[in-house]
């Protein structure tokens, strides 16, 4: 019983760590038009939480 509890606790902690790191991502790059000119735009991505 104690081994099963330890295994489940370890799995839970690994998932918590994974979710905490997956919330932050940096995206870089350029948006260009058909002529190759860089477009001056700003893209905002809002966090969506699902319940």
pLDDT in tens, 1-51: 688 888 899 988 888 877 666 566 677 888 888 898 888 887 777 766 655
Nearby residues of 23 by Cβ (< 8 Å), 6 or more positions away: 47
Contact 14, 22 (CB under 8 A): no
Tokens matching residue 14 = 């690994």
pLDDT reported for residue 42: 79
pLDDT reported for residue 21: 63
- Helix (H/G/I), strand (E/B), else coil: 42: coil
């Amino acid at each position: 019983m104690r081994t099963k509890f330890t295994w489940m606790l370890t799995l839970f902690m690994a998932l918590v760590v994974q979710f905490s790191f997956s919330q932050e991502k940096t995206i870089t790059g350029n948006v260009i038009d058909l002529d190759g000119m860089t477009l001056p735009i700003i893209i905002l991505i809002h966090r969506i939480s699902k319940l």
